[in-house]
A and B are shown apart, each in its own frame.
Chain A
Amino acid sequence: MKKMNIVLLALLLGGCAQWGVEPWERDLLAKPAMQLVSDPLEAGLDDHIYFSKEASSGGASFGGGGCGCN
């Protein structure tokens, strides 16, 4: 099983190796607007709103919580 996991991981990483850029091609990816979470405060406030109003939470990061939201 462990061996299989290693093979799977190697395949995954090997597959991923088809993509990507060289270090000097990171100009656009380095921009603030291209960060995965470009506005963490807004993301946190949205998580709080939708956690309080919907039966789903998390996905992008941990599921949130910490309130007995009405």
Chain B
Amino acid sequence: MQLTKQRPSIAGLLAAASCSLLNQGVSASEDDKWQVETAVLLYSEKDRVDAVEPVISATRGFAGDSTLTIKFASDTLTGASPSGASISDVPQTFTRPSGKGDYVTPAGELPLDDTFKDSRGAVSVQYKFPLDRRTRLSTGLAFSKEYDYTSMALNATIARDFNNKNTTISAGFAYAEDTIDPEGGIPIAFAAMAPAGSEQARDGIEEDKTTTDLLIGVTQVINRQTLMQFNYSYSRAEGYLTDPFKILSLVDGVSGTTLDYLYEQRPQERVKHSLYWKTKYHQLGGNTIDVSYRYLWDDWDISSHTVDFRYRMPFAERHYIEPHLRYYSQDQADFYQTFLVTGSPLPNHASADSRLGSYEGITLGAKYGYRINEGSEFNMRVEYYEQTGDGSDRTIGVARGLFPDLEAVIVQLGYSFSF
């Protein structure tokens, strides 16, 4: 028996890197058995959106180390979402997207569009199989449909192990084609919102967008307790990237009185890049640390930092508790404006969608898990998520373009089993 460590030369290592498969990510299921994961997410924003999302995923292993995963998800949204219009000192009347009615936002309140109620169904299939002893291919298809939105996507990732399975290099590609056919049709860029009952000129009934993603990554085992991952991703979206329901207030440059509501317009292309680093660390006492950082930047001038930290503490053999902290900060898009002002020429692009603004987000919560037996677990997490605007607020006269701070509660129940 030879237990002494041998460190071959680099050339030798490269040659000797013919190692067997590294089962990373979801642990491979046994042949002829389904591993089923179920969860339901309850997402509730204060005074705004409520969402319920059940999801079920089933994975089966086959001879030859291949696995098949089928996943179904659906979600139902109700509530109200900021329309982009500014707060005013008088009540404001907005036309519903259908053009057939209107709603009034009281003076001094943030205009929220309460018309949307949507449900979505999604299905995806992923098949992973080995190409040789140290190379795996994963391919997938996804389809989702909601009332006014259809998406089809495909992906493929190849992963190859080196250095006695301690290094894995992967490269992936994904492509998605989406179609939107919003209630009432596609608004004309910067067209004024017509009063309910009168004709709103439209730019057709549907639009498309395509998204191409490329990802390359390295996963490295550092030592017995530490695993690290480093990714670079590139994503290019082309086509209709505007939100057909979002508007901007057009206000008087002195008094701030609202004169009109104009439909927003975004560029036809967005290229974004991200660098992602993750470390998993197993303390000898049994606790595990999961920490990641992402830096993202794009050609809309948005950049963001995301730090995610989870600390899993097992106790009493079958239980664990896992506190979670996530910090997010984002710089606004170069065409983000809280409102437009009369007198100055219209820009090529403008949006008051707060998701393109400058803000910080904090998520704080914890997860509890109970392992019922091998392959079967119950878990629950409760988290609080908050977004706070970061200096892009603007006031002219009575018009107040404020970042609509957000508070939400996330509750998730999960149960997994095999049969």
Contacts and interface: CB of A to CB of B under 8 A. Distances in A.
A44 B55 contact: yes
A59 B296 contact: yes
Contacts of B235: 58, 63
A1 interface: no
A13 B163 contact: yes
Given A17-B13, A49-B410, A55-B330, A70 B361 contact: no
B188 interface: no
Contact of B14 (A10, A42, A45, A68): A10
B55 A41 contact: yes
Contact of B292 (A60, A65, A70): A60
B223 A41 contact: no
A58 B292 CA distance: 13
B151 A65 contact: yes
Chain B contact patch, size range? 35 or more
Contacts of B275: 59
B319 interface: no
Interface stretch (B60-68, B100-108, B195-203, B210-218): B210-218
Interface in A20-43: 20-29, 31-42
A10 B282 CA distance: 29
B174 interface: yes
Contact of A34 (B26, B227, B229): B227
A5 interface: no
Contacts of A29: 221, 224, 227, 282
Interface in A52-70: 53-56, 58-63, 65-68, 70
B166 A13 contact: no
Chain A contact patch, size range? 35 or more
B96 interface: no
B162 interface: yes
A4 interface: no
B304 A54 contact: yes
Contacts of B148: 68
A59 B231 contact: yes
11 contacts: A23-B165, A29-B221, A29-B282, A34-B282, A41-B39, A55-B298, A58-B213, A62-B233, A66-B178, A67-B146, A67-B149
Interface of B: 3, 5, 7, 10, 13-14, 17, 24-27, 37-39, 41, 43, 49, 53, 55, 57, 71, 73, 75, 77, 81, 116, 118, 120, 122, 142, 144, 146, 148-149, 151, 153, 155, 162-167, 172, 174, 176, 178, 180, 182, 211, 213, 215, 218-225, 227, 229, 231, 233, 235, 245, 272, 274-276, 278, 280, 282, 288, 290, 292, 294, 296, 298, 300, 302, 304, 306, 312, 314, 320, 328, 330, 333, 355-356, 361, 367, 379, 381, 385, 387, 406, 410, 412, 414
Interface of A: 10, 12-14, 16-17, 19-29, 31-42, 44-45, 48-50, 53-56, 58-63, 65-68, 70
